[in-house]
Structure 1
Amino acid sequence: MEAKALIITASIGSGHTRAAEAVRSALLGGRHVSQATVADFLDDRDTASRVIKDAYLKMLGVFPNAYDHLYRWSQSPVPGANLGSLTALLMRNKLLRLLEEHRPGIVVFTHPFPCCAAASLRGSRQLQLPTAAVLTDFAVHRLWVHREIDRYFVASREMKASLAALGINGERIYATGIPVAAGFATQPPRRGTGEEPSILVMGGGLGLGAVEEAVTNLAAVGGPLSITVVAGGNDALRRRITAVAEQSPHNIAVLGFTDRVHELMAGATLLITKPGALTCSEALATGTPLLLYGSLPGQEEENAAYLVRQGVAVKADDAASLSLSVTRMLAKPELLAGMRSRALVLGRPNAAAEIAATIGGCLIARRANPAG
């Protein structure tokens, strides 16, 4: 008998949801799941969800230093546990309602908030379904760490070691990579060797990060450049970039939401983006060199540090260093070629399929031993 899977994300940025959708598609392409549903843990159906989401987005936009302080404070052992306990207390009932509504055979989390709530419910024996956590960054945050969760899927072997060092049994941790959509698993087309470099600028699905500032400062780079800007669902940003494009010496195309991101990345000489882990994982899968700019505080700074260490990214801290970095990178084809090669080695375009196969194995084991 096939089972239902419930994949719980949170609508804070688009990366958690893109990961959830990638896992959902892979599960539906397998043999062991008859239905897979993605649910938003922070939808607007209850006051607590609205308050948490609004506070998070306002803190990022207005008080980024306060968010950075909160992120680092919550990484320390004792306060981190307290924050996780508070999150679980606030969100337990929301998770119970989702479980009652969907009645799944397995629950998968792509955000730490519902993971905290699930661990709490498992501890009180109110949740006995198999659970899995899909971490959507390149570093482990303590809010994810719960011995009550059955399976963990992480971006790298380094993250597996970090999670094991925090007390999770290594046999329950799988270094699959971060799940991306199936389109990124296709072999990227060969980039052209024409004279005009192609620069892709992105800021995530919400158009966050210093996208406008980046595009404005690309005017200082000697041309000609062909620049494509993906503004996502941020209509105000799209209008501002369109105004910038009219004054730029370069050819600039401005897009909103698009399902052609895998094609745009594969055809780009260079991607300029904030270090959101999903966008960066997509770039790795297509072998696209990264210039990281406009990092949000907390986890994105850790993502940037990891990608720079791996030799697939350069980080620019201000406008002057951004234009200088682009100029230097474009002047060194051998540098870009090396970054491209390392990105393809590091990329895990089949991560979603690997995750789905392991989850299918969990369901088989549960059917064989329902009491286990």
Structure 2
Amino acid sequence: MKKILIISSEYTGHGHKSVHTALIQGFEKLYKDKIECKVVNGFTFGGAEFIAAERLYNTCVKYFPNLWNRIFRFSFKNKDFLNKNNSFNIKRRFLKIIKEYNPDLIINVHPLFSGSLLNIIEKKKLNIKFFIIITDLITITKIWFDNRADKIISPSKEATEYMIKNGIDREKIATFGLPVREGFNPKISSKEKIRENTNINGKLKILILNNSEKNKRLIYIIKNLYSKFNCEVTLICGRNKNTFNKLTSFFSSKSYAPKIIGYTQEIPKLFSENDILITRAGPTAIIEAVNCLIPVISMGALPGQEEENPIYLQQNGLGYSADSTDDIFNKIELLLENNRENLIKMRENQFDYYGRDVREKIVNYIAEKL
């Protein structure tokens, strides 16, 4: 049986974990008796300091986004320095895992561990294939990619061209899209059935996926949605108990009541049941939405790796980029024009998107290279 070691993370956003979960599900489904996968959090290779740094990520992007942007930009100009420093700190524990597990292939899904691990593999002359799966969409830091990798699986055509311009051999890149987890797929089997399966006349169902938004802004959005549209609103707070408690309390005295949900594993079901998704433009969330054929309205993006995603959504007809909080409502109006014709058209665009439904293609591609 072939062995794959996946290098990921636990606390640096949702995307890395979603992608490695999608890969495991794909290999389990297609190659259960031929390929086994083991996931390791790359930050554990660096010991206590790396683990502490990983856990600071969410705090940094929530409360100090401009600081995070500076850190992100630093990585563009200091690739070799970062890789050399990381290699020194992670070498011992990484080599221990390699000795214990003896993988045939390493798949890296976190930017900090591309060049740093390849440094170690090169120096120790390890005979192990190394693939990189990039989990950002458009704006990718240069520490993501390295020409020493055997293959780089690209999330978009734009990312592919960017890597080629920055020295990566074209034949090393395979452009697929982002793999998504089980359940993130439409109930519609053909494009022709989209119109008849779109909510054209019923009450509008709007889903808000909260990504560290301030409570004040969420309240403003929800109040205006109810005042401007005949709609039902569902808010997913995730593990943010503060937002869940404050908004539940605030709306308990109102004549209208959004459905407020904490942490849930029912996101695929909620994507399928709602007509419009309002969210920050994190790559995994928007591609999971595209796979479920739910039009996306971006209410912002994290400086750095997410900043071009709203534009990408709009240019590809997959969603709208809202320029301000109030512009969210303008974008909903656009979707509802002409008896919701734009809503239907956007779902059709999502169905045709080249990066939709690619998990099994990626898994088969990797299996063929083993």
User: If the length of structure 2 is used for normalisation, what is the TM-score?
Assistant: 0.87
CA contact (8 A) 2:335 2:341 kept: no
Aligned partner letter, 2:304: G
1:334 alignment partner in structure 2: 341
The CA deviation at 1:301 is 0.8
- In 2, the alpha carbon distance for the partners of 1:234 and 1:307 equals 27
1:4 alignment partner in structure 2: 3
Aligned residue runs from structure 1 range 234-313, under 5 A: 234-247=240-253, 250-313=256-319
- In 1, the alpha carbon distance for the partners of 2:204 and 2:292 equals 17
- In 1, the alpha carbon distance for the partners of 2:63 and 2:9 equals 21
Is the alpha carbon distance of 1:285 and 1:43 closer, same or farther for their aligned partners in structure 2, counting shifts above 3 Å? same
The CA deviation at 1:282 is 0.7
Q: Identical aligned pairs, as a percentage?
A: 21
CA contact (8 A) 1:95 1:117 kept: no
1:24 alignment partner in structure 2: 24
2:191 alignment partner in structure 1: none
- In 1, the alpha carbon distance for the partners of 2:88 and 2:96 equals 14
- In 2, the alpha carbon distance for the partners of 1:108 and 1:248 equals 50
The CA deviation at 1:55 is 3.8
Aligned residue runs from structure 1 range 76-95, under 5 A: 76=77, 79-95=78-94
1:147 maps onto 2:151 in alignment: no
- In 2, the alpha carbon distance for the partners of 1:356 and 1:199 equals 33
1:196 alignment partner in structure 2: 203
- In 1, the alpha carbon distance for the partners of 2:301 and 2:34 equals 37
* SS of alignment partner, residue 198 of structure 1: strand
Q: Which whole-Å deviations, capped at 9, do the CAs of 1:257-309 have from their partners, x for residues lacking one?
A: 33322221122211001111111111111221111114221111122222222
Is the alpha carbon distance of 1:262 and 1:191 closer, same or farther for their aligned partners in structure 2, counting shifts above 3 Å? farther
Runs of 4+ in 1 over 6 A off after TM superposition: none
- In 1, the alpha carbon distance for the partners of 2:231 and 2:94 equals 49
1:39 alignment partner in structure 2: 40
- In 1, the alpha carbon distance for the partners of 2:306 and 2:255 equals 31
- In 2, the alpha carbon distance for the partners of 1:158 and 1:327 equals 30
- In 1, the alpha carbon distance for the partners of 2:47 and 2:94 equals 12
User: For structure 1, which segment, 283-292 or 31-40, has the greater mean C-alpha deviation from structure 2 after superposition?
Assistant: 31-40
- In 2, the alpha carbon distance for the partners of 1:327 and 1:275 equals 20
- In 1, the alpha carbon distance for the partners of 2:82 and 2:46 equals 23
Aligned partner letter, 2:2: A
Is the alpha carbon distance of 1:350 and 1:343 closer, same or farther for their aligned partners in structure 2, counting shifts above 3 Å? closer
- In 2, the alpha carbon distance for the partners of 1:99 and 1:126 equals 13
User: For structure 1, which segment, 37-46 or 151-160, has the greater mean C-alpha deviation from structure 2 after superposition?
Assistant: 37-46
Structure 2 segments unaligned to the other structure (5+ residues): 189-193
CA contact (8 A) 1:287 1:347 kept: no
Is the alpha carbon distance of 1:224 and 1:186 closer, same or farther for their aligned partners in structure 2, counting shifts above 3 Å? closer
CA contact (8 A) 2:198 2:344 kept: no
State the aligned residue count. Answer: 357
The CA deviation at 1:331 is 4.3
- In 2, the alpha carbon distance for the partners of 1:253 and 1:107 equals 42
User: If the length of structure 1 is used for normalisation, what is the TM-score?
Assistant: 0.87
